[in-house]
Chains A and B, each alone.
Chain A
C-alpha cells in the first residue's frame, strides 16, 4: 500500500512508570520518571523522543558520576554480555569489563555535548533501545586533559530486583579526539 493512515492504539499509550537503573545499592540518586510504553509508528513519536532525551540526561549524570567516583559499581550498568571498544581495544563481558575499569587511572570527566536517538525496534527485534552520544574532556590521573567522544546503546531489561525494567548498556564505544590513525 502506498499510503496507510497512522493510527494510535490507545492500549499502547497506557501510562506507567519506568524506573531507571533501579538498583538502590548503587546510590546513584535514582528517580522515577513517568513514561509511555510505545511502539514505533503507532505511539506518539514526539512523546517518545522527548522521553528518550530525559533518559539520556539521567544516564550521563549517573554514568559519569559512577566512572569518576564509584568505579566499582560501574559494571552494574552494563549487560552481562556488553561490549566496550575503548580507543580500539575491545573488551566484552562483565568480568573483563571490571578488570579493565580497575586498570584505568582515576578520572575527571566533563561532558560538554549530549545527543540521543531512539533505535527503531525493527532493528533490535523488539528490544527498546536508545543511542546516547556524548563528547567532552577527561583528565585521567597522571595524564593531561584530552577531548573524547563516546556513544552507548542502552537497552531496557527486566530487572531481577525490581518489577520494572531498567536500562543497561549493551555497547559502549570511547575514543580520544586527538587520536590519529
Chain B
C-alpha cells in the first residue's frame, strides 16, 4: 500500500484496488465493498497515517459507507475524498460521513447522482452535509461563509483505574479479592461478614423491550430497580434490600458467577481518611454465569460504599450493582489473563476462629447467622458470655422470632 501513498501530500490513492497488479499477482484481492476489507484498510490508515488529508477510493464498487463513518473520528484531518465511479445508491449514505471537514469531494458516476432533478439540487444537498466544501466533482463552489464558533470535539483520553492513593489501592484490592472469592464460591452466605448491619443493596439491569424472555439478563429482571421504569413506591421499596440479612439473601439467589478480576477497573471517587468512608466504583468487570458459553458473559458497574469494620477490613454500607451485556470486544478480552490466586480467607473481616465460633454458636442457639454474629460481636467474641446472655434473654422472651428464621 505504501506505493499508493504520497507522503508529501498525505494522500492515499486506492483507485480500483481490486485490480492492483501487485496484489493480484500475489493472489490478494481487496474488495472494498466487503465490510472486513474496508475495516482492514481503515485500520491500516488509523495505525500508520492518521494525519491523512486526501483519500481516493474511486472505481471500487462501494455500495455502503458504514465502515467509512469511522473516518470521522479516526482521520480527522481528511480534507479531500474521491468516491467517484462507485455504486452509492442514496444520498443518505453520505450522512454517515457527516462530521468530516471535507473541502473537496468527488461523487460523479454513482447512481445517487441521477436521483436529483437538476444539478443545483444535487449541489445543495451535498453542501448541506459538508458545509465547508469548496469543490464538488472538480467544480468550484461558492465559498461558504461560516460563523466563528469553534467548539471542542475531542474527548479527554480514557484512562485505567483511578485509586487516588496507594493507601486506598491496597485496601480496596485486598477487599475485592476477598469479596469476589466468596461471591464466586457458590455459597454467598459468608458475605454476611462483609456487610454492615444497616447495609443497603439494589441492582439495575437494562430492559430489553423487544424480547425480555430471550435476553440473557432475564434472571435479573425481577430484582431490577430502575426508577425510570418502577414508579410504584411499594415496589421501589421492596426492591431496595435493607439490612445485611436481606442483602445476602438476595445475593444468594442471584445466578452463580465467575469473575475475571484482571478485567476490573476501579475508580475511587470519595475517600475520606477521617471517617474512612470509601466510595468506589467497579467498572466493566466481566463475569460468566454457570456455563462457559460466550453469550453468558456480562459486564457490570458496581458502586460500593464502605466504612472500616469493627475488627479490621471494610464493611459495606451501600452496594449498587448495574448489570448489562458485555460488548464484543470485552467478551474477546475476558478471561484471557491468568486469574490471580484467590485469597485463602473466604470471609472478609472475620478470622477463621471467629467463623468457627459463629457456626458453633448458631448451631447451639438455633439463631440464624445474622443474629448469632450480632450476639457474638456484642459480647466481644466471648462464646461463654454470649451463651449466657442468650439464655437469659431467651428465658425472658426477649429474642424476636426473626432471629430464628433461616
Contact = CB atoms under 8 A, between A and B. Distances in A.
Interface size class of B (residues with CB under 8 A): 35 or more
Given A131-B318, A180-B329, A89 B240 contact: no
B381 interface: no
A76 B182 CA distance: 42
A57 B152 CA distance: 30
B242 to A, nearest CB: 7
Contacts, number: 197
B400 interface: yes
A45 B330 CA distance: 40
Given A2-B393, A115-B227, A180 B284 contact: yes
Most buried by B among A1, A124, A180: A180
Given A46-B237, A114-B227, A180 B333 contact: yes
Contact of A151 (B228, B320, B375): B320
B269 A151 contact: yes
Contacts of B240: 49, 117
Interface in A76-133: 83-90, 100, 103-106, 111-120, 122-125, 131, 133
For the complex, would chain B's binding face be called helix, strand, loop or mixed by DSSP majority?
A: mixed
B233 interface: yes
A88 B267 contact: yes
B281 A175 contact: yes
A139 B375 CA distance: 53
Interface of A: 1-3, 40-41, 45-46, 49-50, 53, 56-57, 83-90, 100, 103-106, 111-120, 122-125, 131, 133, 135, 140-144, 147, 149, 151, 153, 170-173, 175-181
17 contacts: A85-B281, A89-B159, A122-B198, A124-B277, A125-B274, A131-B279, A133-B320, A135-B301, A149-B281, A149-B283, A151-B303, A153-B270, A177-B299, A177-B327, A179-B284, A181-B264, A181-B265
Question: Which 4 pairs, one residue from A and one from B, show the smallest C-beta to C-beta distance?
Answer: A142-B153, A88-B159, A173-B269, A87-B158
